[in-house]
Amino acid sequence: MGNRLQFATLVFGTIGIASIPVAQPQARTDEVVVAVAANFTGAMKTIAAKYTARTGNKVTISYGSTGKLYAQIKNGAPFDVFLAADAQRPRLLEDEGRALAGSRFTYAIGRLVLWSPNKEYIDNKGNVLHHGDYRHLAIANPKTAPYGAAARDVLLALGLWRRLQRRLVYGENIAQTYQFVASGNAELGFVALSQVMTHEPSTRGSLWHIPAGLYRPIEQQAVLLRSGRATAAESFLSFLRGPEARTVIESFGYATPPTSSGANHRPRQTVRKK
């Protein structure tokens, strides 16, 4: 009898322990779970460390393509905050009632570069795209990754999209795209400037800063999710808007929107009627 009771305690105790963190990770108010677009990985790590040092609140980070994270949020993923690589998905989440209306703001403006780890490979006009003898040009999946969509914009604008079809390889997010190029499997690729900035200047290889007119601006927006109940979530978002985070964001090669005087960063609230 006693043995059986012990056994039951053991079993249910184990189940109980195992289920706590899985069932409700966002219930703790001193922890914020953030879904982050892959291009922001480097900056996010630094910002999270600074935020934790400042507040003592823990930050848990999930990385992925904006499209994948959006699909996961739609299907109930337990995130408090979503840092997307575009404005479209956060807006959709707001329209669908999954994000708190009015919480949306632009935290960074991304810059696309054509990059190769080889120092001499890429000229500052991108002529290599036309004349290079490369076999593989890596871009992120345009369907799910905003940097991939931007890369497609560039190739369309240069009139190369059709011609290069057979040389394109697709990373499932911008991190994998970067990794394809960094490992040498693709000679060059369209990646985020922020990814190249994580390198020391001496090992940065060669890159072409794509002129802004060739692709739609990569306005990266953050949004507070309804599923997130952590009070830490709001404090994290205001930290993300603050000067300390802006400095980090800019140091990774992003532009930041004009400093918020309150109304500035509030995106157009003209709700599109359906």
Partner 1 sequence: MTVDLAPVWLSLQLATATTVILLVLGTPLAWWLARSASWLTGPIAAVVALPLVLPPTVLGFYLLVALGPHGVIGGVTSSLGWGALAFTFPGLVIGSVIYSLPFVVRPIQDAFQAIGQGPLEAAATLRASRWDRFFSVTLPLSRRGYLTAATLGFAHTMGEFGVVLMIGGNIPGATRVLSIAIYDHVEALEYSQAHLLAGGMLLFSFMVLLGLHIINKRLERIGA
- The DSSP bridge partners found for residue 182 are none
How far CA 70 is from CA of 52, 145, 206, in Å, comes to 25, 11, 33
Q: To the nearest whole angstrom, how small is the minimum distance from the Cβ of residue 144 to partner 1?
A: 5
Q: Which amino acid, 177? A: T
202: DSSP letter? G
- Residue with smaller CB distance to partner 1, 183 or 238: 183
Q: Which amino acid, 181? A: V
Q: To the nearest whole angstrom, how small is the minimum distance from the Cβ of residue 129 to partner 1?
A: 18
How far CA 164 is from CA of 128, 263, 264, in Å, comes to 12, 44, 41
- The DSSP bridge partners found for residue 255 are 109
Instruction: List, edge to edge, every strand of the sheet that includes 188-192.
Output: 168-171, 137-140, 188-192, 112-116, 206-209
Contacts 24+ apart (CB under 8 A), 155-163: 155/129, 157/213, 157/214, 157/215, 158/126, 158/129, 158/130, 158/214, 160/129, 160/130
Q: To the nearest whole angstrom, how small is the minimum distance from the Cβ of residue 65 to partner 1?
A: 7
- Residue with smaller CB distance to partner 1, 97 or 258: 97
What angle do the packed helices 88-95 and 66-74 form, to 10 degrees? 10
- Residue with smaller CB distance to partner 1, 125 or 143: 143
- Residue with smaller CB distance to partner 1, 83 or 138: 138
Q: To the nearest whole angstrom, how small is the minimum distance from the Cβ of residue 245 to partner 1?
A: 29
- Residue with smaller CB distance to partner 1, 156 or 212: 156
- Residue with smaller CB distance to partner 1, 172 or 234: 172
Q: To the nearest whole angstrom, how small is the minimum distance from the Cβ of residue 225 to partner 1?
A: 17
- Residue with smaller CB distance to partner 1, 138 or 223: 138
CB atoms within 10 A of CB 31: 16
* Interface residue list for partner 1 (CB under 8 A): 65, 67-68, 70-71, 74, 135-136, 138, 141, 143-144, 168-172, 180, 183-186
272: DSSP letter? P
- Residue with smaller CB distance to partner 1, 35 or 186: 186
How far CA 128 is from CA of 82, 89, 122, in Å, comes to 36, 33, 6
- The DSSP bridge partners found for residue 61 are 34
